[in-house]
Amino acid sequence: MAENAERSEETLYKPSPKSIEREKQAMEEEPKEDLSSLLLPNLNDLPQNPPTAVEFNFSRYFLPDFTKPGHDQYIYRHANGLCVIGLAQAHVALKEEGGVTAVDFNVGKSDRSELKVTGKRKRNAQHFESNSALCKVCTNDNFYIVRCCVKGSLLEVNDRLIKQPGLLNSSADREGYVAIIMPKQGDWLKIKDSLLSYEDYVKLRGLL
Amino acid sequence: MTSPGPAIEWQTALGNAKLCLPPCHVIRDLLSTGVCVRCIFRLSGIHDRDCYISPINESELISVLEEQNEIKCNSTTSTNCCVCLGVLCPSCVVPEKPGADLREISSVNELALLISDMVKGEQYRIDEFSLEVSLPPVITANERALRLYLKQKYEKEQWFKDSFLRDHMSVKDTLKLVLNASLENYLAVQNVETLSSSFRIRLTYSHSETSQKLQSMLPNGHDSKKRERGSRENGSSKNCNEPDASAYRVLELIEDQNFCAQFQVPPGKVDKPCQLVVACCRTPTYIGGRYLKYSRNVSQSRWIIDDERMGETSVEEIIGENVRQICQGDGYKFHSAGREDIDVRMLGSGRPFLVEVSNSRIVPSSTEIEQISDKINHTDKKLVGVKNLKLVGAEAWDLMREGEAEKQKQYAALVWISRPLNVDDVCNLTSLKDMEISQKTPIRVLHRRSPLERSKVIHWMKIEKVEGTTQYFLLHLCTQAGTYIKEFVHGDLGRTHPSIGSILGCRAEILQLDVTDVKMDYFD
């Protein structure tokens, strides 16, 4: 699925050859019935648990112990090159009692939540290194720095985390993403081979 | 050479025309300056076509004027007119094919025949035509020079004060007067005066020798080098469009005194006649209708990345190519009212589209348009279909674009949620009317679109259960144009809110999407 996602940035699940045949037949019939029968799916094509939007549209990569032990992060890379950065399942902050309580984007030299990127070319986006800080994630007793993981332009940070830090506890792999970065092709290729696939990460951390 | 019929016609015509002509001594003067007989006629205000098609030469003209009875039909003029440079004689040379040898044309008939052969050779099917003539600015300069010369010499004479030049015809109008009737004859269709026909015959005259002289003579010399190079290369005024426009402008502004200082008065004689390029072309033909896309592997427009094609083919190519073929055009452009992703089907009413065919050899009849429809709709694979196909005018493009943002679209999405669907869910969703949602630019297009937050309206939603499942259902929805449906379902990592998932309080995924209606008045 991930391989396919690299090629087809926007495609959804494809029906089986059988239902394509059924569709063809339906098209010979009258227009009114035609439309409804065309729309209904073939039950055989419906999986119990379909792939998620993330699984389908992105290639998931993982960086265990990034700069520090236990600081596991993920990069979801879209076919168009954009990278979504976030905390991986076994990140040490997510294991603490009470989980994440606050998120602060004011780290390093600027407040990352203040940046305003405009235009198609996104020329005014700030450039960061892979170990630049994105934000500070606070728990009851500690705080942890989340970093970029890949060198590139910072397009957006998830400022919803400011008001709803709990998103990291409930869905760090989806709505709790931290930022979106646009790396240059060359910078991505440099780090690509050092990253773990989802399967390898799961094995490493003994999850599932 | 003489045949009684035509000879009598133009003899009579000439007899009548005599009244308009200036006195004999003036005519001798003009002839010796190098002005052709036809230019003399047109400057004198003679509008009778028969005079122009008569093969009369200088000495014959004198004979007629001095009322000698014998008029012999002889060979045509041997030199080129210093005013019209051979455009009216007509004795211009035409490159038959690019790079081929030049050919001399010495009569209106020959020119008309050449043009008509070209039209027939390309297999154009026409029911009318428009003639466009482009002349080099130097002819305007020549005419001005001649006028100034006559003024200087004869302004005290009675005939000059009376009416000379008041009724004169331009070179262009004279050429059209003379040529149109012959063309109508050969092409068997009517000429339409004001370029309103879709079929245009363009005659582009150029004269490199004098044009170069003109350009270097006039002020505004900063890019004269560029112009000189351009006009020397092939004499076609196609390369000299801008210099032409600026030359006309300068001529308009320059005063008589300065003009006479720069330009030879009266205009000098020329060795070679004008070069002529004949081109014919049809203005774009528009065919509009609505298309349906049955395949989830066909993109709307040609999509090629790194030499590899995305999807099996494209709507644009299937429809455009079929239209182009039957219209026998050179190329096509495909326009549509919005678009859908490669994996989204376009069903129901279909999406309005327009195909613009360039230089179509035929304008399709309704039977031929039906042929196009049939061809597209009855292919083996049934990837794309068309309906309501018809010929439309150029204004159709604006009609299609008009009020794009207001157009509503209807969709059917196959949705999966992370828990069974219940009655409350259905009530919840169907009760929401004209709900506003906020969509940050979806990640999948964020690389090429501005990062913005766009507000969109979901007008209504309906749930259709899928028998045999509890977590799947068909979501029918009607939304404002520009709404990203996939993101409305899965939430795009929370960047679209509310979303189906957020409304139902669970995770939602979209498996399939179909467009079921594009509400638009036109192309129905």
pLDDT tens per residue across span A148-176: 999 999 999 999 999 999 999 999 999 99
**The tokens of B143 are what?**
């005419």
- Residue of B517, B155, B180 lying closest to B340 (CA atoms): B517
Strand, helix or coil at A33?
Answer: helix
Q: How far is A32 from chain B (nearest CA, A)?
A: 9
Give pLDDT, residue B86: 85
> Which regions of B193-336 does DSSP assign to beta strands (E)?
199-206, 275-282, 285-293, 298-299, 304-305, 308-309, 313-314, 331-336
Q: State yes or no: cis peptide before B284, omega within 30 of 0.
A: no
**The tokens of A174 are what?**
């989806």
Q: Helices marked H in A8-69 — which ranges? A: 17-28, 31-39, 53-57
Q: Which amino acid belongs to residue B478? A: C
Q: In A, residues 5-34, which contact B (CB 8 Å cutoff)?
A: 7-15, 23-24, 27
Q: In B, residues 311-370, which contact A (CB 8 Å cutoff)?
A: 341-343, 345, 347-348
- Residue of A174, A142, A205, A30 lying closest to B490 (CA atoms): A174
> Computed over its alpha carbons, how large is the radius of gyration of chain B?
34
- In chain B, the N- to C-terminal Cα span, in Å, equals 63
Give pLDDT, residue A43: 83
CA distance linking residue B506 with residue B96, whole number of Å: 75
Give pLDDT, residue B5: 45
CA distance linking residue B276 with residue B279, whole number of Å: 10
Strand, helix or coil at B70?
Answer: coil
CA distance linking residue B125 with residue B196, whole number of Å: 17
* Ordered DSSP codes for B82-111: TTTTTTTTT--EEESSTTSPEEE--SHHHH
**Is the distance from CB of B254 to CB of B229 less than 8 angstroms?**
no
Distance (Å) of CA A124 to CA A81, A108, B22, B232 = 18, 18, 76, 49
Q: Which amino acid belongs to residue B505? A: G
B13-B19-B22-B24 Cα dihedral, nearest 10 degrees:
80
The number of beta carbons lying within 10 Å of the beta carbon of residue B52 is: 23
Distance (Å) of CA B335 to CA B10, B152, B316, B457 = 55, 60, 8, 26
Residues in chain B with CB shorter than 8 Å from the CB of A181 are none
Instruction: Give A99-132 pLDDT, tens digit per residue.
Output: 999 999 999 888 888 888 888 888 889 999 999 9
Q: Which amino acid belongs to residue B38? A: R
Question: Residue holding tokens 């262009």?
Answer: B172
* H or E segment and range at residue B152: helix B137-154
Inter-chain CB proximity A24 and B382 less than 8 Å: yes
Which active-site residues of B does the annotation give?
341
Give pLDDT, residue B221: 44
Burial state string for B414-423 with b = 16 or more CB within 10 A and e = fewer than 16 = bbbbeeebee
Please give the average per-residue pLDDT across A61-88, as a whole number: 95
Give pLDDT, residue B25: 83
**The tokens of A4 are what?**
């396919």
* Chain mean position to CA A166: 18
- Residue of A78, A117, A58 lying closest to B449 (CA atoms): A117
CA distance linking residue B506 with residue B523, whole number of Å: 41
Distance (Å) of CA B299 to CA B234, B318, B346 = 44, 11, 11
Q: pLDDT-based confidence at A31, cuts 50/70/90?
A: low
- Residue of B329, B494, B466, B350 lying closest to B409 (CA atoms): B350
Residues in chain B with CB shorter than 8 Å from the CB of A120 are 448-450
Residues in chain A with CB shorter than 8 Å from the CB of B467 are 43
CA distance linking residue B415 with residue B302, whole number of Å: 29
Q: In B, residues 462-521, which contact A (CB 8 Å cutoff)?
A: 466-469, 472, 474, 486, 490-494, 507, 509-514, 516
Half-sphere exposure of B504 (CA within 13 A, CB side): 28
Q: Identify the closest residue of chain A to B348 by CA–CA distance.
A: A35
Distance (Å) of CA A137 to CA A49, B29, B51 = 32, 101, 97
Q: What is the ipTM score, two decimals?
A: 0.85
Q: Give the pTM.
A: 0.80
CA distance linking residue B155 with residue B173, whole number of Å: 26
Q: Identify the closest residue of chain A to B418 by CA–CA distance.
A: A49
Q: State yes or no: cis peptide before B498, omega within 30 of 0.
A: yes
Instruction: Find the CB nearest A10 among B343, B451, B511.
Output: B343
Walk along chain B (524 residues) and give the pLDDT tens digit of each residue: 444 445 666 677 777 777 778 888 888 888 888 888 888 888 888 888 888 887 777 777 777 666 654 444 444 445 788 888 888 876 777 776 666 677 788 788 888 888 999 899 999 999 899 999 999 988 988 888 888 888 888 877 777 766 666 778 899 999 998 888 888 888 888 888 766 788 999 999 988 888 777 777 766 544 445 545 544 444 444 444 667 787 888 888 888 887 887 788 888 888 888 888 889 999 999 999 999 999 999 999 999 888 888 889 999 999 999 999 999 999 999 999 888 999 999 999 899 999 999 999 999 999 999 999 999 999 888 899 999 999 999 888 888 888 666 789 999 999 999 999 999 999 999 999 999 999 999 999 999 999 999 999 999 999 999 989 999 999 999 999 999 999 999 999 999 999 999 999 999 999 999 999 988 776 65
CA distance linking residue A79 with residue A185, whole number of Å: 12
